[in-house]
Structure 1
Amino acid sequence: MNIRIAIVDDNSFLIKAVEEKLSFFEDLEVRFTAMNGRAVMEKLEENNAIDLILMDIEMPVKNGIEATYEVKQKYPQIKIIMLTVFDNDENIFNAIKAGADGYLLKEINVGDLHSGIIETSNGGAAMNPSIALKTLKLLRNPYIEEKENIKLTNREIDVLEQLSKGLSYNAVAENLILSIGTIRKHIENIYR
C-alpha cells in the first residue's frame, strides 16, 4: 500500500527537488502539490485521499502553520510533516501546537526523509537532531511562560538528549535499553 503524499511549498524549484527525492521510493506516491495553504485546502476539498502532507511554513496567502491547523481540524487522519528551512523555536512550537506530526529540515538527506515519512505514517513522529536540541533548550529556558504546562518525564528528556546527538531511533533504544516502540511512544508524548 503506497503512502499518498501532497507537497505544499511556495517554491516550485523546491517542490521539484522533493518530488525527485521521493521518486526513488516505490512505496511513496506524490498525488499533488500546492503553492500555499489556501491552495492545499482547495485541492483537499476535491480529493482528500492523501495520507501525508509535507508542508512548508513560510508561504504567502496562508502559511503552513495556519494550513496545518485547518487540515487537522477537517481531516485529522492526514499526517503532516513540516518540511522547512526554518528551525526557529517559535515556528517549531507553533507547528506542533497546530497539530504537526513531525518536523524536518529541507536539507535532510533522501534516506532520512523516507524514514521520517514511514515513521510518521506508522503513527510515530519524525524529529531531527536540531529540533530535539531546541526542545531541550526550550525546556531549560527559565523565561518561557508556557513552562508550567510543559512537563516531560526524565525518560522523555533522556530520549531527547539522545536524539539531539543525531542518533537513530534504534541507537537510542539500545542506549536506553528500551524497545523501538517505547522510543516512538516517548517521541509522540514529547510532541504532545
Structure 2
Amino acid sequence: MAIKVLIYDDNVALRNSMAVLLNDIDDFEVVAAMPNAETIVTDLQTFTPDVVLMDIDMPAVNGVQAVKNIRKINDQLPVIMLTVFDDNENIFKAICAGASGYILKRYATEEIPAAIRNVLTGGAPMTGSVARKVLQMVPQAKDEQQEKADLSKKETDILQLLVNGYSYKMIATEIGISIDTVRFHIKKIYDKLHVHSATEAVSRALKDRLLSFLF
C-alpha cells in the first residue's frame, strides 16, 4: 500500500515539484498539495494521510500553528516541516509544537523521501545543519533535572540519538542491540517522561534540558 502524503506550501512551483517527485516513487502517493493550512482539520479527515509535509511560512495559518491544530486531534500523525528557515527560534517553536522532523527546502529533493520513511519508523529526521542547531539548544543538564527524569545511561543515550534524528533501526545499529530492545527502552523512556511519541520525547528533552552531553 502506498504511503499517503499531504503537502502544505504556498510556493506553487515548489509544491508542484515536490508532488511530482514523490508521485514518481512507486510507494508514495501525494493525496493533496495545498497552498495553505486553513482547512487542516477537514483535510485530515478527507485525505487520511500517513505523513504531512508542512511549510512554516504561510499566510493565514502558519506551519507552527498548523502543527498545533493537528496535535489537538491527532498526536501520532508524523509532520515534517519543509522550510527555508534554519534559525533557532523557528526550529524550537516547530519541535515544541509537535513537529516530527525538520528539512530545509534546499535539500528537499535529496532528503524528503528518506525522511518520510525514517519518520514512519519512529525517527525524527532533520537536515544535518538543523540537527547541529538542535544539539546546541541542549545545554549541560542540571543534576536535579536528570534525577527527576530518572533515565538510565542507556535510556539517555537512546534519547540523544532520537534528538539527533535516528530511526529505531539506526539506534539499534549504533548501540549494538536489537530493534525489539530499542523499542523496550523507548517505551520506558516514554513512561518516565510521560510522553507518547518520539516527537514529544525530543520536545521534552529540549525544554527540560535532560541531556548531559553533546555529540
Shorter-chain TM-score bucket reads: 0.7 to 0.9
Give the whole-Å Cα distance in 2 for the aligned partners of 1:77 and 1:96. 14
AA of the residue aligned to 1:75: N
The offset of 1:37, in angstroms, is 1.9
Q: What is the CA distance between 1:82 and its match in structure 2?
A: 0.6
Structure 2, unaligned stretches of length 5 or more? 190-196, 205-215
Q: Aligned equivalents of 1:93 and 1:110: distance in 2? A: 24
Displacement, 1:114? 1.1
Query: Could you tell me the percent identity over the aligned residues?
Result: 34
How many pairs were matched up?
Answer: 183
Q: Secondary structure at the match of 2:107?
A: coil
Partner residue of 2:56?
A: 57
Higher mean C-alpha deviation, range 17-26 or range 4-13: 17-26
Q: Distance in 1 between matches of 2:111 and 2:179?
A: 17
Secondary structure, aligned partner of 2:18: helix
C-alpha contact 2:78 2:99 (8 A) present in aligned 1 = yes
Shift of 1:108: 2.1
What displacement does 1:13 show?
A: 0.7
Query: Residue 140 of structure 1 aligns to a residue in which SS?
Result: coil
- Alpha carbons 2:36, 2:60 under 8 Å: kept: yes
Establish whether residue 159 from structure 1 lines up as the match of residue 161 from structure 2: yes
| TM-score relative to the length of structure 2 | 0.69
1:140-166 per-position Cα deviation (integer Å, ceiling 9, x unaligned): 389xxxxx69x79652586389x59xx
For the aligned residues, what is the CA RMSD? 3.4
Query: What aligned pairs does 1:16-31 form with structure 2 within 5 A after superposition?
Result: 16-31=16-31
Q: Could you say if the C-alpha distance between residues 155 and 122 of structure 1 is closer, same or farther in structure 2, counting changes exceeding 3 Å? A: closer
Does the CA-based 8 Å contact 2:8-2:54 persist in structure 1? yes
Alignment of 1:45-124 (within 5 A): 45=45, 47-108=46-107, 110-124=109-123
Residue 190 of structure 1 is aligned with which of 202, 208, 215?
Answer: 202
Unpaired stretches in structure 1, ≥5 consecutive residues: 143-147
